Structure 1
Amino acid sequence: MIGYLFERTTGRHVTRLPRDILQRHDPSSFALWLTSQCWGAYVALLVEGLHLRVYPDPSGLLPVYRSEIAEGQACTSDLTLLNSHCSPKPRVSWHDLASHLQRPDWRDQRTCLAGIEELPAGQMTSWTNEGATSVAVWHATQFMPDKETQAFDELAVELRNTAQRVMRAWGSVSGRLLVSASGGVDSSLIAAALATVGQDFACLTIATGDPSGDERVPVRMLANALGVECFEACYTPERVDLAAPVSLGLARPSGKAFMQEVRRHAIKAAGRSGASAVVDGNGGDNLFCYLHSAAPILDRWRSEGLSHGAAATYLDMCRIAQTTVPAMARALSMRARRGSRPAAWAADRRLLASDVPDFGTPEVIADLAQAVPLTHPGKIDHLTLLLRTQNFIHSASGPADPLQFSPLMSQPLLELCLSIPTWIWCHGGINRALARAAFAQELPAAVVRRVSKAGPDSVMRVIFAHNRTLIRDMLLGGLLRANGLLDAAAIEQAIASDPHGKEPTIYRLLDLVEAEAWARSWQP
């Protein structure tokens, strides 16, 4: 066992496995026991005779990569080890990078490095002379709503208790924590869960130079309400080096330029506060089923018929989507025709060469749809949300010091949130309603009621404005263009964009620059 392992019911850190479990000869039985009785961020290496089976836990918080090397099969959670100790060295797969750039929020089993695959979380993988085979041990669809729905208040208590158990467990192996707080629902839930179990932590907020991304006031309110220390910092866009990839050492270029500043301030604040790890609320919108569609209405209608509850959910979603009753009726009609089929996962082909092929919608989503309950077709939208966040979750592995990870993806929270009907999350006409209610008595009312928050958009625009020449040189004279991925004329036009306007292509340019810097980092 490698990584962190906790008992399912108590959250106690497991350092020694029961003797009777260790004596099991069937790897599948052992993996099932781990999945049902434990959780964490771990990988189990299960030996049966001459065969090795590898089982990454369902959360995906400890990714495992596989490569065929001169000595055999190599598995690692840190790809820099392959680069340092194995042959052949990892190199960029331009085919897979082209696919990734079209759907950057899809985490495929294939990575953007040739010959390196990511083992699917929750599946046990083994190798024979014929190749690798994976068998699912954990299925997301096992946790679909399948019984009478609990009352909203009861579910809020269950979410509260689960969050407390998860954060107490992480605190037991991390010491003092630093919460990267945005003043929004997700990071505030983490902070409240830590505070209510007596875990020592501090908060960090990073502000933009203009009011559009300054969250210091709500984070101060949060820290004061919970009685914890709060560190404040400001982005310095001039310090960002676009030639240094945020995704250094990773299997895909998924980082954003502003994250250099987030990391710099997190290291500084962790040093001042004595924190050994930084936790963030990444993935919260997705976990807590933040939908703007008619899916919750459809689910409640399919489950309860034309009830008062279905009518209430209809009005709730009109408020959340800020639309009219007739417009929502049209949306509901369209959504009902789609049923449990997933929405098309559109490709982003902006600034890419016209002859770069579209690799199509991932098949795994269609597979998941087959197991979604007929009375809850909107759950495919929830599952898709969770899939879309995987590339932006910080894992509990890697060489970073201090460690930064996203605990909301922990297995107990994931399973609970999947089991809750979609309409519960929009109760009262506010998004992520259950997450707000779970710690409403500890959090400031202004934080609980917030339905939107600022972001670092202005920082990204300043980074773009200060680096036009470098961006042009990297993209028009770099590896991506040399390998036929970019439309040079479209790149030139995008670089001429007004950094103070609302042109979204600026963010696309910066993503391509990150991909270029990442690709260069894997060059011999």
Structure 2
Amino acid sequence: MLATDGASHIDRNRRRSPKLHSHIDGRMRRHILAALGAPASRGRAAGVARRCGLAPLHEGGSLHLYCSPDLPSRSLEDGSIVVGDCFAPCGSGPGRPDEGWGNYLAFGASGRSATIERAPLTGLPLYWTRQDEGVLCSTSLEILSELGCGLAVDEAFVGNSLAYPNLRTERTGVSGLNELLSGSRLGWTGTSATTTEAWSPWNYIAPQPAVSVDDLARQLEAVIIDCTRAWCAGRPEILLELSGGLDSSIVAAALDAAGADFSAINFATAAADGDERGFAAAVSAQFGRELLEVLNDEATIDLVGMPNTVRPRPGAYGVLGGLDLAFEQAVGARSVAIFGGIGGDNVFDFDTSVAPVIDALQACGVSGTSFAALRNVAQASEATLWQAARLSWRAWRDGPRSPWVRETQFCRNEAMPEQPLPHPWDDAPEITPRGKRKHVAAIRRILDFLDRPERWTGRDVIAPLLSQPVVELCLSIPSWTWFTGGRDRAIARQAFARRLPASIIWRKGKGRLESACSAAYLRQRPALRGLLLDGRLAALGFLNRAAIEAYLARDGISGDHDYFRLLEIADIERWLRSLESASRAARMAAQR
């Protein structure tokens, strides 16, 4: 379905007893703890690090740094320490943060000052808070709690999460706790802490020189394969989550081209809309790879139970619980690197609006290029030329809209914030085409997903399509070019057409979990009623209880997708209860 350049219809259709990690949990193997300044905290930090099995990387001056042995780390000539993967620009070996890319955190110290820089786009989330005249940082909420950081809920953050879904900013749901966002730098001067932007997507959106689609496809193929090859180094056991869709299939082709030894896993549902085993089998057969087919047990989906892991912000999706459990049963404690096609739609500019047409008009005026863009976007969206032209005129007349439309359904409008929390990427240059504004917003949305699935918690998860060189190239490509020939993600399709079966390259549809989700909703509706109407969000005055009661009282869902919004709210309620429960437990432990 074609939309104007506001919120896309497809986004609407996709809406879908906790504990802090134990020290002896094998998943504590991917954590970091750092104290900047904070002399009073250094001794406590060293003790907690020892109990968690974290090894000291640096102890002295303004930086005390500890890391799980399973995380790669190395010291650079300037004395800085890189934790995680940092590749050279060409991906041929180790690189430095000032010129390379990866999923690293780079730590530096000089005198009373210290800095931490997080890689653009990917990497371990790092949370930080001011304490004892310094800064404490960790990837783990449990570690920060043991160091005396409170777990009080930030109610303003809760309201923002309800009104602006998937808007990830540096603020978290724990009062006083911030996240160092990807592409940002945290600096400690000895007296104060500040964050600055180290990488911006807007620097890669510029008038594109005359490059043919064939050349762009060759460039994209090469950079994806090169980046995938870099990620494979040092990862002897690779498991690809292979849905059978275009994006994960491209990663399979890149892994094969990179010479990686990998196997694949496919999740299927009992309903036909979520069963893509045939497509996944075609891809695995193409490359002669083992494929593990796992059936989602819909009876294990729990929409109301508190999540297993307490997080600084809403995490695990209840509707994915069956997939998460199926993965755990199939993979267990094996230390595998999980690859996937995460972010393909977002990076390859899969846009269901007419914004690419507007971009072409602004760049080329009324021309053959603009008419071709109109025709291609209409064809890709299965709309008529007239429908596409009418929507384009309406979008041109109305002007660009905010990428984060305020969502108040099932909430009290007066309790919702009027503006979203700020983010470093909010201020796009005025000349930025609206299609590229949407492109950046789409990338921001997927970054909120990278640490959400329960099955990925504490594991080594790699998203090759979100590699910095891949994203920078894709940002530089005009939005309408992605629809060449009347197909979405056209350049990515052409880039891997000779490597993948035609049934994969040219397929239009995608697997869905809607049947499984709707069945789970209808089956657990009585429990959802209690969760939402008698929960913490309602008590805080955020919810429209009458609207929720009326919707829950309906006989069925009649083809609408409003129940996804209810499940979205339920996930926030579940997270909120888990955080408050952990906060009470921490206070009781401190009193003993």
Kindly indicate whether residue 500 of structure 2 is the aligned counterpart of residue 443 of structure 1: yes
Give the Cα separation in 1 of the matches to 2:111 and 2:424: 35
Give me the whole-angstrom Cα distance separating, in 2, the residues matched to 1:396 and 1:167. Answer: 22
Structure 1 residue 276 and structure 2 residue 336: aligned? yes
| 1:386-444 deviation digits (Å, cap 9, x = unpaired) | 12222112489998354334332221111111111112211110001111111111211
Q: Distance in 1 between matches of 2:238 and 2:558?
A: 38
Check whether the contact 1:78–1:398 (CA below 8 A) recurs between aligned residues: no
1:305 shift after superposition: 3.8
SS at match of 1:110: coil
Secondary structure of 1:59's counterpart equals coil
User: For residues 137-176 of structure 1, what are the structure 2 equivalents within 5 Å?
Assistant: 137-176=198-237
Distance 1:183-1:192 versus aligned 2 partners, 3 A rule = same
Q: Percent identity?
A: 29
The answer as to 2:68 corresponding to 1:8 is no
The code of the aligned residue for 2:386 comes to P
Q: Which residue of 2 aligns with 1:319?
A: 379
Flag structure 2 segments of 5+ consecutive residues without an equivalent.
1-81, 585-592
User: CA, structure 1 residues 271+396, in 2 after alignment: closer, same or farther (shift >3 Å)?
Assistant: closer
Instruction: Give the letter aligned to residue 402 of structure 2.
Output: A
1:342-368 Cα offsets, whole Å, 9 max, x none, are 535211112223431333145558843
Pick one of 437, 448, 468 that aligns with 2:525.
Answer: 468
More moved, 223-232 vs 245-254:
245-254
One-letter code of the match for 2:212? A
Aligned counterpart for 2:258 among listed residues 180, 183, 197: 197
Give the Cα–Cα distance (whole angstroms) in 1 for the partners of residues 300 and 568 of structure 2. Answer: 18
Change beyond 3 A, Cα 1:207–1:497: farther
Where in structure 2 are the equivalents of 1:237-256 lying within 5 Å? 237-246=298-307, 248-256=309-317
**Alpha carbons of 1:227 and 1:429: their partners in 2 closer, same or farther (altered >3 Å)?**
same
Alpha-carbon distance in 1 for matches of 2:459, 2:382: 41
The residue type paired with residue 319 of structure 2 is: F
Shift of 1:245: 4.3
Among 258, 274, 296, the alignment partner of 1:213 is 274
Alignment check: 8 A CA contact 1:476 1:488 kept: yes
What is the rounded CA distance, in whole Å, between the counterparts of 1:513 and 1:469 in structure 2? 13
* C-alpha distance 491-173 of structure 1, shift in aligned 2 (>3 A): farther
Q: 1:331 to 1:343 in 2, by over 3 A?
A: farther
Q: CA RMSD in A?
A: 2.7
Q: Number of aligned residue pairs: give it.
A: 500
Match of 1:410 among 467, 492, 509: 467
Deviations 1:113-152 (A, max 9, x none): 2111112322222235774322322121111133413111
Alignment of 1:262 with 2:323, yes or no, is: yes
Inter-partner Cα distance in structure 1 for 2:105 and 2:297: 38
Q: 1:369: which partner in 2?
A: 428
Contact preservation (8 Å) 2:311, 2:579: no
Residues in 1 aligned to 2:385 and 2:487: alpha-carbon distance in whole angstroms: 16
Distance 2:190 2:409 in 1: 42
Separation in structure 2 between the aligned mates of residue 247 and residue 411 of structure 1, nearest angstrom: 32
1:39 aligns with 2:39: no
1:357 aligns with 2:416: yes
User: Paired residue for 2:186, among 112, 115, 125?
Assistant: 125
Alignment of 1:276-355 (within 5 A): 276-337=336-397, 341-343=400-402, 345-355=404-414
Structure 1's 366 and 330: CA in aligned 2 closer, same or farther, altered over 3 A?
farther
- Secondary structure of the corresponding residue to residue 314 of structure 1: helix
CA shift in 2, pair 1:342/1:380, >3 Å: farther
Question: Structure 1 unaligned runs (5+)?
Answer: 18-32
Large movers: runs of 4+ above 4 Å? 128-131, 243-247, 361-367, 395-399
Instruction: Give the Cα separation in 1 of the matches to 2:482 and 2:211.
Output: 13
1:54 to 110, 116, 121: 116
- Which of residues 468, 473, 479 is equivalent to 2:536? 479
Residue 509 of structure 1 deviates from its aligned partner by 2.1
Could you tell me how far apart the structure 1 residues matched to 2:367 and 2:105 are? 46
2:109 and 2:422 mapped to 1: Cα distance? 31
* Superposed displacement of residue 186, structure 1: 1.0
Quick one: distance in 2 between partners of 1:146 and 1:50?
A: 44
1:87 corresponds to: 148
CA–CA separation in structure 2 for the residues paired with 1:393 and 1:139? 19
Give the letter for the 1:76 counterpart.
Answer: S
In 2, Cα distance between equivalents of 1:483 and 1:79 = 24
Offset of residue 41 of structure 1? 0.6
Q: TM-score, normalised by structure 2?
A: 0.78
1:224 — aligned with what? 285
One-letter amino acid of the structure 2 residue matched with residue 314 of structure 1: L
Q: Is the 8 A contact 2:101 2:468 kept in 1?
A: yes
The match for 2:565 among 499, 508, 517 is 508
User: What TM-score results when the alignment is normalised by the length of structure 1?
Assistant: 0.88
Residue 117 of structure 2 aligns to a residue whose secondary structure is strand
CA contact (8 A) 2:320 2:453 kept: no
Q: Does 1:106 align with 2:187?
A: no
Q: In 2 relative to 1, CA 500–306 (structure 1 residues): closer, same or farther, beyond 3 Å?
A: closer
In 2: Cα distance, 1:396 partner to 1:518 partner? 13
Q: Is the 8 A contact 2:172 2:179 kept in 1?
A: yes
* Structure 1 counterpart of 2:578, from 515, 521, 524: 521
Moved more, 385-394 or 297-306: 297-306
